[in-house]
């Protein structure tokens, strides 16, 4: 469950962040992704009345003629936030789903402040849009919807990302928030379908998944299949598990690097706003 009070925490955090940013940059926009910008369009012959500051002196050096650079307004970035709602995300305290949802909400709220569009969707076996993408989208409504959604057994990353890629029409960044406990081939195929966008993978783990505290006779439950297994967890088994998890995440990161995507790993044991800031910095890098 995501408490609505999280929006108050987020507002205070953003105010502090804005103040800190203003003090460091004195109002300069450091982001290459968000907000309004200007991009070069073409040249025109200089005419009386044109802004001499826009004369291209390199062109003059080549041609001995005066040309003025013309620019057009850069379209805002659209942030596509995709949150995994499969049953494996319904684990831990706080649950990975709630933690990832807070990161997604923080991204959406920050996008509103930077005049960027966003779309918020959830995926598991299928993908479902839960926001219209308008700048005046209602974040409390998104929280309410996330809290009401039922978790579904399986996460089909490849199918959902491939389907979603057809909906992307302009300059975009796709932020995928998931535990990525699925086949590596599916993850890679899904990323490949988003090849014309900026992709950020946010790998969410519960602190117990990263470093299990339990040992001995234990009953393990698969959150997606509901099956259980009684086993004895020795320190050797724990070390083997941690090694396999490390190899899995390293392979995901390799896949991300191969396709020009960015990979971040966050833990529910960390402050969620600090994790959000790490993600936001990756979006704006």
List, for residues 44-53, the tens digit of each pLDDT value: 887 877 777 7
List, for residues 74-117, the tens digit of each pLDDT value: 556 789 999 999 999 999 999 999 999 999 999 998 888 777 78
For position 115, what pLDDT does the model report?
Answer: 74
Cα–Cα distances (Å) from 222 to 147, 189, 227, in that order, read 22, 25, 5
Q: Residue range 3-9: average pLDDT?
A: 93
Higher pLDDT, 222 or 277: 277
For position 29, what pLDDT does the model report?
Answer: 43
Q: Contact, 67 vs 40, CB < 8 A?
A: no
Buried b (16+ CB within 10 A) or exposed e, 51-88: eeeebbeeeeeeeeebbbbeeeeeebbbbbbbbbbbbb
For position 219, what pLDDT does the model report?
Answer: 57
**Residues whose CB is less than 8 angstroms from the CB of residue 219 and which lie 6 or more positions away in sequence, other chains included:** 228, 229, 230, 231
Q: Residue range 249-257: average pLDDT?
A: 97
Structural domains in the chain plus CATH codes: 41-72 (no CATH), 76-283 (3.40.50.410)
List, for residues 114-146, the tens digit of each pLDDT value: 777 899 999 999 999 998 655 556 789 999 999
**For residue 28, is pLDDT > 60?**
no
């Amino acid at each position: 469950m995501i408490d609505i009070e999280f929006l108050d925490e987020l507002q205070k955090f953003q105010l502090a962040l804005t103040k800190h940013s203003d003090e460091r940059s004195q109002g300069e926009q450091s982001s290459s992704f968000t907000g309004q910008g200007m991009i070069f369009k073409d040249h025109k012959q200089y005419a009386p009345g044109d802004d001499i500051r826009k004369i291209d002196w390199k062109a003059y050096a080549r041609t001995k003629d005066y040309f003025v650079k013309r620019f057009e307004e850069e379209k805002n970035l659209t942030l596509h936030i995709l949150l995994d709602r499969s049953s494996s995300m319904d684990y831990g305290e706080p649950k990975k789903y709630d933690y990832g949802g807070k990161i997604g909400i923080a991204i959406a709220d920050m996008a509103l402040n930077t005049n960027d569009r966003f779309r918020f969707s959830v995926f598991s076996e299928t993908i479902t849009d839960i926001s219209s993408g308008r700048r005046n989208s209602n974040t409390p409504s998104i929280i309410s919807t996330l809290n009401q959604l039922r978790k579904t057994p399986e996460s089909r990353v490849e199918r959902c990302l491939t389907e979603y890629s057809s909906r992307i029409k302009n300059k975009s960044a796709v932020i995928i928030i998931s535990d990525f406990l699925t086949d590596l081939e599916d993850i890679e195929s899904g990323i490949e379908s988003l090849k014309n966008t900026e992709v950020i993978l946010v790998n969410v783990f519960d602190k117990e998944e990263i470093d299990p505290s339990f040992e001995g006779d234990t009953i393990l439950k698969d959150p997606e299949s509901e099956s259980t297994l009684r086993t004895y967890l020795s320190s050797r088994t724990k070390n083997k598990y941690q090694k396999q998890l490390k190899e899995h995440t390293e392979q995901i990161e390799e896949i991300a690097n191969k396709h020009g995507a960015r990979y971040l790993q966050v833990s529910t044991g960390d402050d969620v706003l600090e994790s959000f800031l790490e993600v936001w910095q990756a979006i704006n890098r």
